[in-house]
Amino acid sequence: MNRQAQSAVLFLLGASLLHAGTTDLYLRYVKQGLRPLVLVAGAVLIAAAVATIWYERKRAGRRDPGGAQDHVHPEPRVSWLLVLPLLALILVAPPALGSYSATRTGTALQEPLAYPALPAADPLPLSVVDYAGRAVYDHGRTLRDRRVRLTGFLALDPDGTPYLVRMALNCCAADAQPVKVALTGQVPPVLQPDTWLQVTGTYTPRRAEDPVNGGPIPFIEVTEAKPVAAPKDPYDESWNG
């Protein structure tokens, strides 16, 4: 692969990063707050590609037409296989991590640093991470006598217990870990893993141990559940793991 081909690959990679950063595609790879870095990285790669092409053309223009020519070794054709991951990035958006990962990874719930006051909304919209942290480590003190609403995807543990899950991440999808809330009460009779649900319910002190790592999994007493479309950002960034 010569310099021109390398520049073309750099340009395409930079363009794909800019495309991902200007759409919601980047959310499949990194957290929302890293969008500026994705855009900057794309711009830098494009600038590097343009600079490389300019340098090569300038160097070619300075060569003596009557002088000795450098002996150019042919590049191995297999090097063009490096373009395949690039095409995959451009053409195929990977699905967000779902129930397969959630049931094979222990809950990553950690004790929150604080429990901010909750608004007076009814039902109260909470993230899965926020509900789980308050239910386990604050023993539900801020959740009692409140109807709450959670959104997440379904996963089933080996004994069939349904979990409402969000994958929490620090930086990117590679470090995503599940936070799970078990469902009890008026749970839909037919549950399909990876279905996104919006559940309304109340706090219950009931807990379970994660079968993978023994971590705490709180329950929610479901009073209403309905399927919803997957959110634009499938990951929960309220976690501070």
* Domain CATH number, residue 224: 2.40.50
Instruction: Say what the pLDDT of residue 1 is.
Output: 55
Are 82 and 1 in contact by the 8 Å Cβ rule? The answer is: yes
Region 116-141: mean pLDDT is 94
What is the rounded average pLDDT for all residues in the chain? 82
Instruction: Say what the pLDDT of residue 132 is.
Output: 96
Count of structural domains within the chain: 2
Region 152-172: mean pLDDT is 87
Instruction: Say what the pLDDT of residue 191 is.
Output: 82
Q: Assess whether pLDDT exceeds 80 at residue 103.
A: yes
Examine residue 200 and state whether it is found in any structural domain, yes or no: yes
Final residue before a domain boundary, out of 36, 62, 91: 91
Q: Assess whether pLDDT exceeds 80 at residue 159.
A: yes
Give residue 128's pLDDT band: very low, low, confident or very high (50, 70, 90): very high
Beta bridge partners of residue 182, listed in sequence order: 163, 219
Same domain, 141 and 81: no
4-31 pLDDT tens trace: 777 777 777 777 777 777 777 766 676 6
Same domain, 230 and 111: yes
Final residue before a domain boundary, out of 91, 118, 140: 91
**68-82, 89-103, 104-118, 216-230: least confidently modelled range:** 68-82
Same domain, 222 and 106: yes
Same domain, 76 and 119: no
> Burial of 128 by CB count in 10 Å (0-12 exposed, 13-18 middle, 19+ buried)?
buried
User: In degrees rounded to 5, what are phi and psi of residue 74?
Assistant: -65, 140
Final residue before a domain boundary, out of 91, 124, 148: 91
* CA 72 to mean position of chain CA atoms: 44
Instruction: Say what the pLDDT of residue 17 is.
Output: 77
Give, to the nearest 10 degrees, the angle between helix 35-62 and helix 3-22: 160
Same domain, 73 and 149: no
How far apart CA 130 and CA 115 sit, in angstroms, is 9
How far apart CA 219 and CA 45 sit, in angstroms, is 47
Examine residue 154 and state whether it is found in any structural domain, yes or no: yes
First to last CA, the chain: 42
Dihedral angle over CA of 240, 148, 184, 222, nearest 10: -150
Q: Which domain range does residue 84 map to? A: 3-91
DSSP 171: S
Are 154 and 178 in contact by the 8 Å Cβ rule? The answer is: no
- 215 or 28: which carries more pLDDT confidence? 215
Examine residue 241 and state whether it is found in any structural domain, yes or no: no
Percent of the chain scored above 70 by pLDDT? 76
DSSP 130: H
Give residue 177's pLDDT band: very low, low, confident or very high (50, 70, 90): confident
Regarding beta strands 147-156 and 124-125, do their DSSP bridges make them parallel or antiparallel, or are they unpaired? parallel
Same domain, 135 and 211: yes
Same domain, 79 and 177: no
How far apart CA 125 and CA 128 sit, in angstroms, is 10
Instruction: Say what the pLDDT of residue 153 is.
Output: 95
Instruction: Say what the pLDDT of residue 28 is.
Output: 67
39-91 pLDDT tens trace: 888 888 888 878 877 887 777 766 655 555 555 555 556 556 666 666 666 66
